[in-house]
Amino acid sequence: MTKTNGGFEPVFCTVVPPHILDKLAQHEDPALANPARKTLERDAFERTHRRLTTVIGAPAVAAPPGAAEGKPHRTIYDARHHTDLPGRKVRGEGEDPGKDATVNRAYAGLGATFELYLKAYERYSIDGNGLPLDASVHYDNDYNNAFWNGEQMVFGDGDGEIFLDFTIPIDVIGHELTHGVTQYTANLTYFGQPGALNESLSDVFGSLIKQYTLGQTAAEADWLIGAGLLAPRVTGKALRSMKEPGTAYDDDVLGKDPQPATMDDFVRTGRDNGGVHINSGIPNHAFYLAATALGGHAWEKAGQVWYDVLTGGELKKDALFVDFAKLTVAAAKARFGDGEELQAVLKAWEQVGVRTA
């Protein structure tokens, strides 16, 4: 499959429900049947592709011809307030910044994310093999979200009432791209505890990308996710706090930040895929505790341990918090021996109530 268009045909896919496509595909008029068949084939292909990614890990995608080793290959698309992906190409790798600040921020954020993974962990793009980085901005109207669709990032502009442009915080860009890294490595199931670990890893590396870009130490970092994203009228500083989960916002429209910091307050819910954005507060806080106990640049020690677990091949896709915690202990030992790193990791999990033995 070619990666240059993000893999999505703008026609049919998102518009026509599958049962209607089935009907159309059997139609005697080829003008109706052919596009429907094509769409079904593409849908089936994507489903199989995703399933295979789950089973055998994501395939190695060849770097684009001419792409220099160690350089990102970024493309930003403008969805122009529609929902067909990827939209119109507006900036390719090496092209000068244009007038659209959103496009420029997305381009810079992709570059910063690429840079942290390469410089800190010697990872060449999100698949480790130079995968081109695609992002679409200006998705839909007043769209209060950003997501990873399995192949590219998608950013909304926000409604201006509650949320501003989702490309503003660099940690949001890092968060979305890290969903890609997770998909190509541990491929944690996006539900329940493995889903909360998936979310937490995106927050951890999203925050590290911000810290790396600003040159901050663990003590200097704000440990916030989505700072600058909330509109001025909202009472809150960000969407999540790794330092103090549950304190990022408390607003009459948004409600109160529901994140727990420890297992005592673990939230059981069927919503939000079993609380993936809620219980991620627990592993988020464990990372914060380990990183601040160790001091210095958080990506060097705590980040290295977490990265080793994410990419080491032992983290199962249905891992629970305890499984992940045990692997961080083993990774700290393997990487740094029996020293302060190991002690910091052990103590961090103990403080959030996740057992490691």
Partner 1 sequence: MRIRVRRTGGFAGIERQAEVDTSGRPDAREWQALAERAIAGGRGRPSVGVPDGFNYEITVDGRTVYAADPRLTEEQRTLISRVLKEGA
| Residues at the site binding partner 1, with contacts judged by CB under 8 A | 13-17, 20, 83, 85, 140-141, 144-150, 154, 163, 166, 172, 175-176, 179, 182-183, 189-191, 198-199, 202, 226, 239, 254-255, 258, 271-273, 276-278
For the chain, the straight-line distance linking the first and the last C-alpha, in angstroms and rounded, comes to 44
Residue whose C-alpha is closest to residue 281's, from 212, 354, 174, 172: 354
Contacts for 342 with CB less than 8 Å, ≥ 6 apart: 329, 332, 333, 336
Least gap, CB of 350 to partner 1 (angstroms) = 26
CA distance linking residue 56 with residue 114, whole number of Å? 24
Least gap, CB of 282 to partner 1 (angstroms) = 14
Q: In the chain, which ranges are continuous DSSP H helix?
A: 18-25, 30-56, 101-121, 170-184, 192-214, 271-275, 281-294, 302-311, 321-336, 340-352
CA distance linking residue 128 with residue 121, whole number of Å? 10
Q: 63 or 153: whose CB is closer to partner 1? A: 153
Q: 277 or 301: whose CB is closer to partner 1? A: 277
Distances (CA, A) of 288 to 204, 261, 306, 345, 348: 9, 11, 12, 10, 8
Q: 273 or 356: whose CB is closer to partner 1? A: 273
CA distance linking residue 78 with residue 98, whole number of Å? 12
Q: 141 or 217: whose CB is closer to partner 1? A: 141
CA distance linking residue 237 with residue 228, whole number of Å? 7
Bridge-based pairing state of the strands 74-78 and 133-137? parallel
Q: Which residues are catalytic?
A: 176, 277
Q: 182 or 213: whose CB is closer to partner 1? A: 182
3-state secondary structure of 342: helix
